[in-house]
Structure 1
Amino acid sequence: MNRPIWTLPLSENTIVKLKKQGFKCCEDLIDLPDGTSHLKGFVETENEIREMLKCPQSKTASELDTNRDCIATFSKGIDDLLNGGVQLGQLTELTGAPGSGKSQICMQLCVAVQIPSCFEGLEAEAIYVDTNSNFSRHRLTEMMDAFLGHVSKVLSKPNEFKGANINLLKSLTTASMLDKIHRIKMNDLNHLYALYDVIEQHPKVKLIVVDSFVMPLYTVENSLKKNALVHNALDLLLGIAHKHGIAVVLTNDLTTVVNEKEAEVFPALGETFAHRVHYRLLLSKIPNIPNGYTALLKKSMEHERSAARFLISTEGVRDLQRIE
């Protein structure tokens, strides 16, 4: 199939002039011995012309997906489950029983999203929607102190960074990092529209945490109203994620469903909710291993169901095997 001339990165006026000269496809120019000469005066160099006329390299949807920016969890095992980390522009659900590490991972992500670009980080900010009072400045401070301690060790090595990057990293403090996490206390999902104002005031936001998504729904008795709240909130969050390239992380509880044979435990809000998120991790405590946890991948666009072990220490979320 021939490539239309209008697909070249040229102005509309230039495209019109080329069409008037009889060129409708890129191949018309390539096939002529002096074809590129017809573009001179519209671009700067011969090499630039030839680069434009090259056929674009094909990529699969999966390959394009892997090029998305992401936020590290500080556990390589969990990052591998999520195709490199929590993905920007996507919804990730963390579900599990109380004490399974959901809020800990959320707070760790609020630290990780601020990693400077010279460390291949996003150097961004976070919004923490707190519906159940799990947000803890003290816990965040512990995680930040651990991160800054690691940065200090890296900076102590000679010739590791240029002076500008050293000055940037030295300006990082626990106080400055806390200022880049914008907490919103909320008990009604209808109030999520406030996110628009916060994003407008803080355009560097690349992470939104809703911890927990299900908590405000416990007081809603009407099932139709509850379903409407859930889907309206998800529509809003998906729209923000896609438009602004923001990673959205939701925490969800477990609920017990009793059937004729036995009682089974499932994430709350049912399968309809699961279809709206891109990734789902089921978190649980590992018996007989202090501070040891498991993350089970229940839904992913890239990987089959698999699991990773992680540890929650004073420093934050880490790989279990690296600490043992």
Structure 2
Amino acid sequence: MASKKLRRVGLSQDLCDRLSRHQIVTCKDFLRLSPLELMKVAGLSYPGVHELLRVVSRACAPQMQTAYGMKTQRSSDLLPPFLSTTLSALDEALHGGVACGSLTEITGPPGCGKTQFCIMMSVLATLPTNMGGLEGAVAYIDTESAFSAERLVEIAESRFPRYFNTEEKLLLTSSKVHLYRELTCDEVLRRIESLEEEIISKGVKLVIIDSVASVVRKEFDTQLQGNLKERNKFLAREAALLKYLAEEFSIPVILTNQITTHLSRALTSQADLVSPADDLSLSEGASGSSCVTAALGNTWSHSVNTRLILQYLDSERRQILIAKSPLAPFTSFFYTIKEEGLVLQVLPIAGGNCYYGPDRSYFRTAKGQHELANDICPDEIQEIGSCSKSLTD
């Protein structure tokens, strides 16, 4: 990939330092220059520059790989293919937990536990492999200033009291979580571009961005001409970088997203004139013709590999849905949030506490969701269950 650092393509340290003084750091920077320009900055002959161009081009160009080769490579990896969530039923449905080498999105309304989930996964990633962890560091990009170090320690102590029984272990875990507060799109993108070196130097085994939508929706008003195109371009760039990091280093990437209002079919043609296949906000009085869906539109929706939806059922009950996954069917569970983070619940509800299968509308009646819809944050959320298909289309 063009964003790969020149230090990782086999060039000598002296040459990398010389190129770095001219702000030539990545393969993209190198390949944008002409042979004559490279001869000048590198101090090499034309044949030498020609050979360097060949090496750098081959290093960043996509390579063919067979399915057997991929299977063999994954089998030989020392790290586990999944990061366990320690929620046994969810892990079982996902075939092990949050998949390494892919993007997992956590979406839902405010206050449903997205940041709690991210903090909990930060603790789990630092655990030894024999406890289901990755025994590595965490790169946590916080765009909403929602991260709490106190909450991280509380989850660690409450979820694993026997392991975190000393101050030293708590200090070690908290020192492995590297927090970056980035409040603009440019800052987030620059941080993602620098993560490759962070992953290598700090032994990062999990990347978290909480949240992707926060900065994007602040800076790009899709009602203004040209903004939708620029926003989709930014999201495509961000997703490509994150997928590269996930696949190159075989690590999980967890992202949080927000919700937005989604128009009904009756208004779809009208909406497409303004912002096709994207998130829109309805004016007052149109609530009967809408439901809510994950923000950022189709461009982003197709970029993530797995989508988990956290949502309210009532003041005490919440539900986690596997809405998109290459491994798991549509599945729903009940959960609550305690001192130790997210905890799955077993509730006396007709039809069972979870549903496995392809029918995304089933959980509405099996769980009595249609009866609860009017009680779920009526000022913000409109019948979450009624648009479950929109969430995964």
So what's the TM-score if we normalise by structure 1?
Answer: 0.69
Q: 1:69 aligns with which of 78, 81, 87?
A: 81
Separation in 2, partners of 1:180, 1:272: 33
1:151-162 → structure 2 map (5 Å cutoff): 151=163
Does structure 2 retain, via aligned residues, the 8 Å contact 1:82–1:279? no
Match of 2:338 in 1: 313
Within 1, Cα distance between the matches of 2:85 and 2:251?
Answer: 16
The alignment-based identity, stated in percent, is 28
Instruction: Specify the alignment match of 1:211 in structure 2.
Output: 210
Partner amino acid for 1:277?
V
| Partner in structure 2 of residue 264 of structure 1 | 291
Cα displacement (A) at 1:272: 2.7
Contact 2:83–2:98 under 8 Å retained in 1:
yes
Distance 2:168 2:205 in 1: 18
For 2:330, give the aligned amino acid. Answer: R
Deviation at 1:120, TM superposition (A): 4.3
Cα RMSD (Å) of the superposition? Answer: 2.5
- One-letter code aligned to 2:92: D
State how far apart, in whole Å, the 1-side matches of 2:159 and 2:305 are: 28
The 3-state SS of whatever aligns with 1:283 is strand
Contact 1:75 1:310 in 2 (8 A): no
8 Å Cα contact 1:77-1:310 kept in structure 2? no
In 2, Cα distance between equivalents of 1:124 and 1:60: 24
Q: Deviations 1:283-313 (Å, cap 9, x if unpaired)?
A: 1123152xx4211111111122111122210
In the alignment, residue 205 of structure 1 is paired with which amino acid? Answer: V
Contact kept, 8 Å, 2:199 with 2:205, in 1: the verdict is no
Asked if 1:135 corresponds to 2:147, the answer is: yes
Distance apart, 1:60 and its partner CA: 11
How far the C-alpha of 1:247 sits from its partner, in A, is 0.4
Cα distance 1:148–1:257, how it changes in 2: closer, same or farther (>3 A)?
closer
Matches within 5 A, 1:115-264: 115-151=127-163, 173-187=169-183, 188=185, 189-191=188-190, 192-202=192-202, 204-218=203-217, 219-221=219-221, 222-259=227-264, 260=266, 262-264=289-291
Cα distance in 2 for residues equivalent to 1:84 and 1:228: 33
Contact 1:94–1:102 (CA under 8 A) maintained in structure 2:
yes
Paired residue type of 2:314:
P
1:172 Cα offset (Å): 5.2
User: Which entry has the higher C-alpha Rg, 1 or 2?
Assistant: 1
- Shift in Å at residue 226 of structure 1? 0.6
Q: What's the offset of the Cα at 1:244?
A: 0.6
Q: Which runs of 5+ in 1 are unaligned?
A: 1-57, 153-168
Q: Which runs of 4+ in 1 moved over 6 A?
A: 58-61
- Which residue number corresponds to residue 314 of structure 2? 287
Q: State the one-letter code of the partner of 1:227.
A: N
Quick one: distance in 1 between partners of 2:84 and 2:166? 21
TM-score when scaled to structure 2?
0.57
Distance 1:240 1:210 in 2: 13
Give the Cα separation in 1 of the matches to 2:211 and 2:329. 26
- The number of aligned residues is 243
CA distance in 1, matches of 2:114, 2:336: 12
In structure 2, what is the equivalent of residue 41 of structure 1? none
Question: Aligned equivalents of 1:301 and 1:60: distance in 2?
Answer: 16
- Answer 1 or 2: higher relative contact order, Cα 8 Å, separation at least 6: 1
Query: Unpaired runs of 5+ in structure 2?
Result: 1-67, 222-226, 268-288, 348-393
- 1:211–1:250 contact (8 Å) kept in structure 2: yes
Structure 2 CA distance for aligned equivalents of residues 60 and 235 of structure 1:
20
Tell me, in whole angstroms, the C-alpha distance in 2 between the residues paired with 1:115 and 1:190. 28
C-alpha separation between the residues in 2 aligned to 1:198 and 1:116?
20
